[in-house]
Chains A and B, each alone.
Chain A
Amino acid sequence: MRNVFLFIRRYFNLIFFLTLQVASLMMLFRFNKFHEAVFSSFSNEFSGRINMRFNNVETYFTLKKENDQLREQNAALLNQLKTDYAWPDSGYSIVADTFKIDSLEQYRKYLYLPAKVISNSVHSQQNYLMLHRGSNQGAAPNMAVVGPDGVIGTIINVSGNMSVVMSMLHRQSKIVAVLKKGSGFGEVTWDGNDPRFVTLSKVAKTVPVNKGDTVVTSQYSDKYPPGHIIGVVETVADDQVTSTYNLKVRTATNFYSVQHAYIVKNLQKAEMEELEKAIKKDQ
């Protein structure tokens, strides 16, 4: 017994070092579970607050570009207003105002929640963004995040006032996509090389694909609303192993300078999940 204590005392530095190494490696390789338990509440708020201060200064540098972008988006939205379309009065309308609630509201599927991007990375293999909107303001994990120009990523973790977004530029990111032409379903992933390009794979070779085709989110996705732009096809390459294409896609969002984002809340998700659960029970 005495020898054991002597051994521990003699090699205490080494043992302490190994313990810390094991602790950090455990954190690294079992990222998700540990992150949720210990990191999310403390570290998100801690680094979030500092990031926010810094971002307050940083926004000034891209103010002009952001303004232009928002103005363009405003113009696009204004052009869709009903009042823009005028036609000569020729029909009747019978007003039967018996509904107590807006009848359209119950069919709403997606709700957009604006959020400010307070930190961002593009240079590592796993890139994350942080938004200044958390569970207190209606954000939750697994919600999609889109920007003024196109798709950004998915929320993976929320704390009270911040949320962490797994960027589209993440080795584990996977988004169901389709060509805007209507056919050509596939999967958008990132190979970790160039932050300006992502890969659209698993597109059947029967689909005609040209350079310059627009890639958008598919209606098969349970997170993303259909029709949000992911990017534009840059090069078309055959996958030698399977009979599918590998398309190199230039991202629509400029990840270097993203400042504003919209969290997309799927209001019918609970219903969808319930239905899926019912199927699993039956089997």
Chain B
Amino acid sequence: MSDLLKNIIRFALFIGIQVFILNRIPPLHRFITPYLYFLFLLWLPFRTPRLGLTLLGFLFGLTLDFFTKTPGLHAAACTLVAYLRPFLIGLMLPKEKMEISYSEPSVTSMGWMPYAVYVLVFTFLHHGYLIFLEWMQFGNFWYFLGKVFSTTGISLLLITITEMLFNRKSRYRTNVA
């Protein structure tokens, strides 16, 4: 399957799962809203052009906003994640090795530890910014702190489960492909 087709399917699947399952499950606590959808941005191929990545982040967030009736909230957070993604990947990986051998970030392509840091940083960043924007509208500092940490925790758990369930086979890229 080509990368483009694969990512189009992922786009629809992640939005669907977030809107129809995760946003609807009975709340464990008022602090906790599980978020998984932004994993789409973390799974995009290494070679996505930076401009396209930022634009895609914006459109992806906006699509979710259509459903949650919060125009701009998720779009802002997703744009931030998409914009900062190349910086962190550049920092963490020896460029010449990774970009050539594998197509997209995963445990196998990046190694267990760097990938965990990569996911942790962006989960925290996404949730922090998202809840910060919500907090600007209705200020309550403990709400902000509590929600950032508890939501990040639950989301990381979900991401771990997702990674274990869907063991993405990252092909070793050859010159032919």
Residue pair A24, B58 in contact (C-beta under 8 Å)? yes
Instruction: Fill in one digit per residue for B106-137: 1 if any A CB lies within 8 Å of its CB, else 0.
Output: 00000000000000000000000000011001
User: Could you tell me the distance between the alpha carbons of A119 and B124 in the complex, rounded to whole angstroms?
Assistant: 29
Residue pair B66, A21 in contact (C-beta under 8 Å)? no
CB distance from A162 to the nearest CB of B (A): 12
Residue pair B54, A13 in contact (C-beta under 8 Å)? yes
Chain A residues numbered 224-283 whose CB sits less than 8 Å from any CB in chain B: 256
Residue pair B72, A25 in contact (C-beta under 8 Å)? yes
Q: Contacts A13-B54, A124-B33, A193-B30; is A27 near B69 (CB within 8 Å)?
A: no
Q: Does B159 contact A (CB under 8 A)?
A: no
Chain A positions within 8 Å of B71 at CB level = 24, 27-28, 31, 34-35, 39, 43
Residue pair B79, A20 in contact (C-beta under 8 Å)? yes
| Chain B residue with the shortest CB-CB distance to A171 | B138
Pick the residue among B69, B134, B138 that contacts A128 (CB under 8 A): B69
Q: Does B41 contact A (CB under 8 A)?
A: no
Chain B residues numbered 58-106 whose CB sits less than 8 Å from any CB in chain A: 58, 61-62, 65-73, 75-76, 79-80, 83
Residue pair A28, B70 in contact (C-beta under 8 Å)? yes
Chain B binding surface, main DSSP class: helix
Chain A positions within 8 Å of B24 at CB level = 121
Chain B positions within 8 Å of A220 at CB level = none
Residue pair A20, B55 in contact (C-beta under 8 Å)? yes
User: Could you tell me the distance between the alpha carbons of A126 and B70 in the complex, rounded to whole angstroms?
Assistant: 8
Residue pair A21, B68 in contact (C-beta under 8 Å)? no
Chain A positions within 8 Å of B54 at CB level = 13, 16-17, 20
Q: Does A114 contact B (CB under 8 A)?
A: no
User: Could you tell me the distance between the alpha carbons of A205 and B70 in the complex, rounded to whole angstroms?
Assistant: 38
Chain A positions within 8 Å of B27 at CB level = 122-123, 195
Chain B positions within 8 Å of A128 at CB level = 69
User: Could you tell me the distance between the alpha carbons of A230 and B54 in the complex, rounded to whole angstroms?
Assistant: 45
Q: Does B23 contact A (CB under 8 A)?
A: yes
Instruction: Fill in one digit per residue for A1-33: 1 if any B CB lies within 8 Å of its CB, else 0.
Output: 000000000001100110011011111110100
Chain A binding surface, main DSSP class: helix
Chain A residues numbered 23-57 whose CB sits less than 8 Å from any CB in chain B: 23-29, 31, 34-35, 39, 43, 46-47, 50-51, 54
Chain A positions within 8 Å of B51 at CB level = 12-13, 16
Instruction: Fill in one digit per residue for A157-200: 1 if any B CB lies within 8 Å of its CB, else 0.
Output: 00000001000000100000000000000000000111100000
| Chain A residue with the shortest CB-CB distance to B135 | A125
User: Could you tell me the distance between the alpha carbons of A121 and B58 in the complex, rounded to whole angstroms?
Assistant: 23
Chain A positions within 8 Å of B134 at CB level = 125
Pick the residue among B30, B69, B75, B137 that contacts A24 (CB under 8 A): B75
Q: Interface size of A by Cβ–Cβ distance < 8 Å?
A: 38
25 of the cross-chain contacts (CB-CB < 8 Å) are A13-B50, A13-B51, A13-B83, A16-B51, A16-B55, A20-B58, A20-B75, A20-B79, A21-B76, A24-B72, A24-B73, A24-B75, A25-B72, A27-B65, A27-B71, A46-B66, A47-B67, A119-B67, A123-B23, A123-B33, A124-B33, A124-B70, A126-B69, A192-B138, A256-B26
User: Could you tell me the distance between the alpha carbons of A24 and B54 in the complex, rounded to whole angstroms?
Assistant: 13
User: Could you tell me the distance between the alpha carbons of A123 and B62 in the complex, rounded to whole angstroms?
Assistant: 19
User: Could you tell me the distance between the alpha carbons of A125 and B137 in the complex, rounded to whole angstroms?
Assistant: 10
User: Could you tell me the distance between the alpha carbons of A50 and B33 in the complex, rounded to whole angstroms?
Assistant: 22
CB distance from B47 to the nearest CB of A (A): 16
| Chain B residue with the shortest CB-CB distance to A195 | B27
Chain A positions within 8 Å of B57 at CB level = 20
Closest 7 CB pairs of A and B: A27-B72, A28-B72, A24-B72, A24-B76, A24-B75, A27-B71, A17-B83
User: Could you tell me the distance between the alpha carbons of A123 and B27 in the complex, rounded to whole angstroms?
Assistant: 7
CB distance from A51 to the nearest CB of B (A): 7
Chain B positions within 8 Å of A16 at CB level = 51, 54-55
User: Could you tell me the distance between the alpha carbons of A195 and B29 in the complex, rounded to whole angstroms?
Assistant: 11
Chain B positions within 8 Å of A122 at CB level = 27
Q: Contacts A123-B27, A125-B137; is A24 near B70 (CB within 8 Å)?
A: no
